[in-house]
Structure 1
Amino acid sequence: MPRAAIFDLDGALLDSIDLHAIAWHEAMVRFGHDVSFEQIRSQIGKGGDNLIPVFLSESAQRDHGEELDAWRSQHFKAKYLPLIRPFSAVPDLLHRARDAGLLIAIASSAKRDELEKYLDIAAIRKLVDVTTSADEAHESKPETDIFEIALQKLAITGSCALAVGDSPYDAEAAGKTKVRTIGVLCGGFTENLLRQAGCVEVYPGPAALFARFEETFLTK
């Protein structure tokens, strides 16, 4: 049985992916880039440091990459963050994991101030042992920094933990640190994409994980 469960937030515990994609799309358009919502949507799960280079040339990144990211962040907080809601049974799932003896970590590509708000939106602040945000990492998912920091804070190795995430980028980052990943479909990525990225199991969302907890790798 693993000693810790490492959860992503956006798309895994919170219904926020489309809202992030809309904010990124609007930022791209504002700064003169013809990038569709669908193109942006496929990249959500990465931090801005890895998302922006997909769509901006090196010269554009130098010219206004940081400004675009800052505008997107403020725009998202003002317009879309208040609309975020948790998926069903999120506190129940974390309570169940704690009752099973697991430490609980949050490993998110969100910035620290956003992560703090997310913990309250999901009503899980008191259920979490450690958190890791983009502010602590040199590079965001799908690079390993966020998971490596979470493991250091938990004082365990990757083989002693299990991740829960909604995107291929979660599974890729976790896999590089020897952490197995349970995928959830509520973030909008297909089961095929999640399994290709390395997910050992796939469930519809937190409520299904809670209902079938004893069957999952969280207990094995």
Structure 2
Amino acid sequence: MGFQGVILDVDGTLVLSNDAHAQAWVDAFAKYDYQINFEEVRQMIGIGGDQIIPKFAPGLSDAEGKGKEIITYRTQLIVDKFAPKVSPASGARELVEKMQNEGLHLIIASSAKAEELGVLLKAAQVDDLLNQDEATTSSDAKNSKPAPDIVEVALSKLNLQPENVVMLGDTPYDVESANKAGVEVIAFRCGGFDDSLLENAIAIYDHPADLLQNYDNSPLSKV
């Protein structure tokens, strides 16, 4: 038997938003007089603000004070400015439809905050296909990726064993998080990470359309 469930990352997987997230961090830190490098924070996209805040502003926390203000402003930038302008990953909608037609149980597991998810799914053109109410976000996990928390919550909601589930993601943090929870990963290059950083995935494709084109020979195939 093949996989019965699929855990879906969103940013960089279904929608090409990783650069936008990095720029939102740069702008949010700048508002509070912290100058950070775009490329450095870009390599951290995929993990949560609980780790990014202390990385670039030692002594601050995402839970209180100025750190929380930076987080709040960054979220506002994503929702109001950046997310409405980003593009869906090639083949994102068609792949979701294919997996649903194949009878796979789908659930979202994203490091994005809940208030960001709706606009990101709309930008990915899959907001009518995926149940946002059942999604797992950073709000549902104590620790963000690469900790396994978000994936473990998604597994619990699917009510499936790890060996019966695969995750679709685009960052090394997706791979590490899922693997720690006992879940294999199919990775996409469209998130902007080198294959060497995705080497622990069971397969790597350019984007959802690439996986869809090769579906019958992919790990998702029941054959």
Q: Secondary structure at the match of 2:108?
A: strand
Residue ranges of structure 1 left out of the alignment (5+ in a row)? none
- Alignment of 1:8 with 2:9, yes or no, is yes
* The one of 67, 70, 81 aligned to 1:68: 70
Q: Tell me how far apart the structure 1 counterparts of residues 122 and 80 of structure 2 sit (CA, whole Å).
A: 17
Q: Secondary structure at the match of 2:135?
A: strand
Any idea what SS the aligned residue of 1:70 has?
helix
TM-score, normalised relative to structure 1: 0.93
Query: How far off is 1:134 after superposition?
Result: 1.2
Aligned 8 A contact 2:137 2:150 in 1: yes
Match of 2:197 among 185, 190, 193: 193
CA distance in 1, matches of 2:23, 2:128: 31
Which stretch of the first structure deviates more once superposed, 105-114 or 185-194?
105-114
The residue that corresponds to 1:127 in the other structure is 129
Matched residue, 2:40: 39
In the TM superposition, residue 140 of structure 1 has moved relative to its aligned partner by: 1.4
Instruction: With the length of structure 2 as denominator, give the TM-score of the two structures.
Output: 0.92
Match of 1:99 in 2: 101
**1:137-182 superposed Cα distances (whole Å, 9 cap, x missing partner):** 1121111111111111100111110001010000010001110001
Q: 2:169 aligns with which of 148, 165, 173?
A: 165
Q: Could you tell me how far apart the structure 2 residues matched to 1:159 and 1:181 are?
A: 11
Bigger shift: residues 181-190 or 139-148: 139-148
Counterpart of 2:116?
Answer: 114
Deviation track 1:158-207 (CA, whole Å, cap 9, x = no partner) reads 11100010100000100011100011000100011111xx2111110011
Q: % of aligned pairs identical?
A: 36
Instruction: Give the SS at the match of 1:218.
Output: coil
Residue 20 of structure 2 corresponds to: 19
Provide the C-alpha distance between the structure 2 equivalents of 1:68 and 1:123, rounded to a whole number of angstroms: 28
1:184 aligns with 2:188: yes
Q: Which amino acid counterpart does residue 194 of structure 2 have in structure 1?
A: T
2:150 is equivalent to residue 143 of structure 1: no
Following TM superposition, the consecutive aligned residue runs of length 4 or more in structure 1 with deviations greater than 4 angstroms are none
CA RMSD in angstroms, aligned pairs only: 1.5
Secondary structure of the structure 1 residue equivalent to 2:107? strand
CA distance in structure 1 between the aligned counterparts of 2:81 and 2:91, rounded to whole angstroms: 26
Separation in 1, partners of 2:220, 2:177? 19
Gap runs ≥5 in structure 2: none
Give the drift of 1:121.
2.6
* 8 Å Cα contact 2:7/2:168 also seen in 1: yes
Counterpart Cα distance in 2 of 1:118 and 1:20: 11
Secondary structure at the aligned position of 1:175 is classed as: helix
- Give me the whole-angstrom Cα distance separating, in 2, the residues matched to 1:20 and 1:120: 16
Q: In the aligned structure 1, how far is the partner of 2:25 from the partner of 2:171?
A: 17
Output the CA distance in 1 between the equivalents of 2:49 and 2:210: 30
Report Cα offsets for 1:41-66 as digits up to 9, x if no partner.
Answer: 010001111222221212x3365211
SS of the equivalent of 1:15 reads coil
